[in-house]
Amino acid sequence: MTTSDHTPSYVEKGKGFDRDMTYVPDRITAGARTPEHGPVNGELWPVEPGRYRLIAARACPWANRAIIVRELLGLQDVISIGLPGPTHDQRSWTFDLDEGEVDPVLGIHFLKDAYEKRFPGYPRGITVPTIVDERTGEIVTNDFPWITHDFFHEWKEFHAEGAPNLWPEELREEMDVVNKRVFTEVNNGVYRCGFAGSQEAYEDAYDRLFTALDWLEERLATRRYLMGSAITEADVRLFTTLVRFDAVYHGHFKCNRNKLTEMPNLWGYARDLFQTPGFGETVDFDQIKAHYYVVHSDINPTGIVPKGPDAAVWETSHGRESLA
């Protein structure tokens, strides 16, 4: 849904929120090989240092995931990054933080130009994260679950020494179950609350969200991270929602049974991750708040951005070391 003044509309009256999960399904793999895991519904591109540019706004939780994984694996010198600004209209994310409001590598203002260059008249939403081929300026993929999966599995040759094992083989089956529940009930659950078009849809989404958060609170009582004693991609996926919870989702999306700071295990866990190199430095609370409170004008028509909460609380002691 859109409005005539180029302001995107996300709420459809009388209905629940249904995320469009149709993306450009191409994948980047070592030697353009067929990967062992996941679908191959599009083209396969070869891993090639210096060829691809990750476009990932700090405001967006799905893009924040890609930024964190790139940092954790040490791929900064292998895959370049472009950072759109936090606000946009229905047309596209834009590079308004760069000099001249143009990405210095791709030479474009609108991210949609990379989509249109490969797919003229591209009919779907312009999303982040997106990977663009620097040679042609064309989109490669915006299929966010597989972007970070393949950063780990397909770019291993270029990982930094000591990079974490984000997808332990012995935990993969259980991790797939955890990831699915975190995505449907938490990552996407906050959006189903915020973009609900009826009271019934909202209350159903609200109940499902807090049922999942209670499950996570219990799970994290006896383990430092979601899968045990080491950080995995499951933690990255949950973190990007938790770090936005009190600043945005609690009020803006009406996820207000309680704040994250009132759930001791989840709050300690979230601070533990925030204070881990590769996590907290990727978070920009001003950009996060500007994105949600300005772009979602159907929810917040005044466009007023809240001053709080105080970000300094994220640096306080978490006390999770004993669970390691």
Which residues belong to the annotated binding site for glutathione?
A: 93
> How many residues in the chain?
324
Least Cα distance to 167 among 72, 62, 240, 76 occurs for 72
* 191 carries an active-site annotation: yes
Least Cα distance to 255 among 178, 200, 186, 183 occurs for 186
Strands 130-133 and 52-55: antiparallel
Sign of the four-CA dihedral 234, 235, 236, 242: positive
φ, ψ dihedrals at 170, nearest 5°: -70, -15
CA separation (Å) from 234 to 51, 72, 97, 172, 192? 28, 13, 30, 10, 21
Q: Which residue positions form the known binding site?
A: 93
Which of 23, 60, 249, 255 does the annotation list as catalytic? 60
From CA 21, how far away is CA 166, in angstroms rounded? 24
Which of 115, 191, 225, 292 does the annotation list as catalytic? 191
CA 324 to mean position of chain CA atoms: 26
Burial of residue 217, with CB atoms counted within 10 A of its CB: 0-12 exposed, 13-18 middle, 19 or more buried: middle
SS3 228: strand
Strands 27-29 and 52-55: unpaired
- Which tokens in the block code for residue 265? 């295990």
Other beta carbons less than 10 A from residue 150's beta carbon = 23
Which residue is listed with tokens 């393949």?
A: 150
Tell me the one-letter amino acid at 219: R
Contact predicate 47/157, CB 8 Å: yes
Catalytic residues: 60, 191
